[in-house]
């Protein structure tokens, strides 16, 4: 009986180690550029957030767009939170939606590495069959480490492949963001 438990423990430890290695292997490196707080971030102040519910008093926190946005209208929101237990992990969330359907781009960042997840949501269950894969990504931040209450400035570039049934499309998301870590 002890021998079986010992083998089970070793097997579980190996499985967890392999999963942890694969997770760490998928993480990309964060680029640091302290000058990112410059002109592009300051340009966010002149942009307007499009919302039917708000009266445009909401401060713009990102100008990311799907493809090239030639206007001063912003459709996405950005929220940044610190992990409750692991204080060195931040979650950067980009969101676009109308309350019934939308898209979330979540970036989980440690001090030097990050991983991106994309998820659509909809009240129509048939629409939830989209799958995303990140083909290329680059995250640039103004510094390496942050604490709760710190301001964070950055730029994100994503090349995403969307698959719906057997058809696929490639999208590019690009833009600057800023915020305080909650």
Instruction: For residue range 8-29, list pLDDT tens digits in order.
Output: 888 888 878 766 665 666 788 9
* 6 domain residue, yes or no: no
Question: 69 lies in a domain?
Answer: yes
How much is the pTM? 0.79
| Between residues 2 and 182, the one the model is more confident about | 182
88 pLDDT band, cuts 50/70/90, is: confident
Residue 3 lies in a domain: no
Nearest Cα to Cα of residue 172 among 162, 182, 164, 163: 162
7 domain residue, yes or no: no
Could you tell me the residue range of the domain that residue 38 belongs to?
29-180
Position with higher pLDDT, 117 vs 126: 117
Tally of domains within the chain = 1
70 confidence band (pLDDT: 50, 70, 90)? low
When pLDDT is cut at 50, 70 and 90, the band that residue 53 belongs to is low
Does residue 152 sit within a domain? Answer: yes
In a domain, 35, yes or no: yes
Residue pair 160/67 in contact (Cβ under 8 Å)? The answer is: no
On whether residue 85 sits in a domain, the answer given is yes
Give pLDDT, residue 50: 64
- Residue 81 in domain: yes
């Amino acid at each position: 009986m002890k021998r079986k438990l010992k083998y089970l423990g070793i097997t579980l430890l190996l499985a967890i180690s392999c999963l942890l290695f694969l997770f760490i292997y998928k993480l990309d490196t964060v680029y640091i550029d302290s000058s990112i707080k410059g002109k592009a971030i300051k340009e966010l102040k002149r942009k307007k957030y499009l919302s039917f519910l708000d009266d445009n008093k909401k401060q713009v926190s990102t100008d990311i767009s799907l493809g090239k946005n030639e206007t001063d209208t912003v459709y996405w929101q950005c929220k940044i939170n610190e992990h409750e237990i692991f204080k060195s992990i931040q979650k950067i969330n980009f969101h676009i939606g109308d309350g019934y359907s939308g898209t979330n781009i979540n970036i989980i960042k440690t001090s030097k590495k990050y991983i991106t997840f994309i998820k659509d949501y909809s009240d129509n269950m048939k629409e939830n069959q989209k799958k995303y894969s990140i083909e290329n990504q680059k995250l640039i931040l103004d510094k390496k480490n942050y604490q709760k209450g710190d301001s964070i400035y950055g730029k994100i570039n994503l090349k995403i492949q969307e698959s719906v049934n057997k058809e696929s499309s490639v999208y590019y998301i690009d833009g600057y963001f800023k915020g305080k870590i909650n």
